[in-house]
Chain A
């Protein structure tokens, strides 16, 4: 993971707003991707990202280089995203649906338009299933399998032990399999349909 130059970071910690702007520009793309993966649409992801940077601004002087700076930022992004999801659930009772989007990379590889539709359906169902995971399992799963962080990196972001990451990953996979097997047998074929 790329890290911003230490002198810019130090200046931002000292209250230099120019340096803080540089920091925002340096990390915003990566952090937007993280917030998007939790909230499901770019409009809200941008909003959550603003909250992330407000929190960073308020607390940057307290950051200590015991862990990489990016992992601290990721942790704030994950927490703010989960907090946003919670508030949305409280407000509306349901999670906002993921935005309808084309599949730029997948589409080019697919054999036919039918494949595109099938992949899109799989993606939607899987996204909904991930959304139904408990918070820590969802955070672990997104970081491990969507952000493709290692177990060690995920542990640094979530501020827990590597064993906890593995356990949450295990429970997330088990739960996803249960959800998909019972509700969407065509997504991941279970034994009765496969045989």
Chain B
């Protein structure tokens, strides 16, 4: 009997069955299989399992299965709440709403970091160092530039979208006390928007800082940063609403 344990051999047999093509058995496995009745049995069983799966019966569909199939399909398509004509508009609306929600979240993050305790955590000196490092490291990184541009666009969009009629739909859906875009905001909201604008640059620094941290630790890619920013934005959005 070879020194290989039966579990190892059986795992190799399962792996072999799951592989892309016929994989030759190694001499050690062949040696073990030639002397171990248990593993020989397992080898047969795996082969039978695969064979039985391939041979599972398929009686074929009833002859009338396609009767009225297309008619039913079109009825369902036209009656479906996500019919194509709707989805085109719907997707745009959902996309716009999602962008704005993320925007609010990021805005909220910006507001939080302007508070004295946050400022203490992220000193001006640290920010400057961080931004300098990232810009030196990633000066030509298209992904970073695109990310920052997108983030700023979302924030700036509050103002730019002031005269966009489609924004009215969104404004009406906002919880009481929130405002999308300046419009004619009440005093408190105007103040809030001013704070958002004033802290946009700080938000930019914060994201840059997060990127530097990730780059320094070299443990995650940008995808992780995106998720973390989204997560923070989501949490802050809840705080912002309440």
Chain A residues proximal to chain B, CB less than 8 Å: 15, 17, 21, 24-25, 28, 32-33, 36-37, 42, 45-46, 50, 53-54, 57-58, 99, 101-106, 119-120, 122-123, 126-127, 130, 141, 144-146, 148, 150-152, 162, 166-170, 172-174, 176-177, 180-181, 187-191, 194-195
Contact = CB atoms under 8 A, between A and B. Distances in A.
Contacts of A54: 73, 76-77, 80
Contacts of A172: 18
A24 B73 contact: yes
Given A28-B69, A101-B59, A195-B41, A50 B46 contact: no
Nearest to A45: B61
A173 B74 CA distance: 40
Interface of B: 11, 14-15, 17-20, 37-38, 41-42, 44-46, 48-50, 52-62, 65-66, 69-70, 72-74, 76-77, 80, 82-84, 87
The list of the 7 closest CB pairs from A to B, nearest first, reads: A169-B18, A101-B59, A194-B41, A191-B38, A151-B20, A188-B45, A170-B18
Given A50-B76, A151-B20, A130 B53 contact: yes
Contacts of B61: 32, 36, 42, 45-46
A152 B20 contact: yes
B19 A42 contact: no
B65 A42 contact: yes
Which of B14, B48, B76: most chain A CB closer than 10 A? B14
A42 B65 CA distance: 8
Contacts of A120: 57
A19 B60 CA distance: 26
A191 B57 contact: no
A87 to B, nearest CB: 16
Nearest to A37: B58
Contacts of B72: 50
A32 B14 CA distance: 30
16 contacts: A28-B69, A42-B65, A45-B61, A50-B76, A54-B80, A58-B84, A104-B57, A106-B55, A106-B57, A123-B55, A126-B56, A141-B53, A150-B20, A170-B11, A170-B15, A173-B18
Contact of A58 (B59, B65, B82): B82
Contact of A166 (B20, B59, B65, B73): B20
A127 to B, nearest CB: 6
Contacts of A57: 77, 84
B73 A53 contact: yes
Given A42-B65, A170-B18, A177-B14, A191 B55 contact: no
A193 B169 CA distance: 71
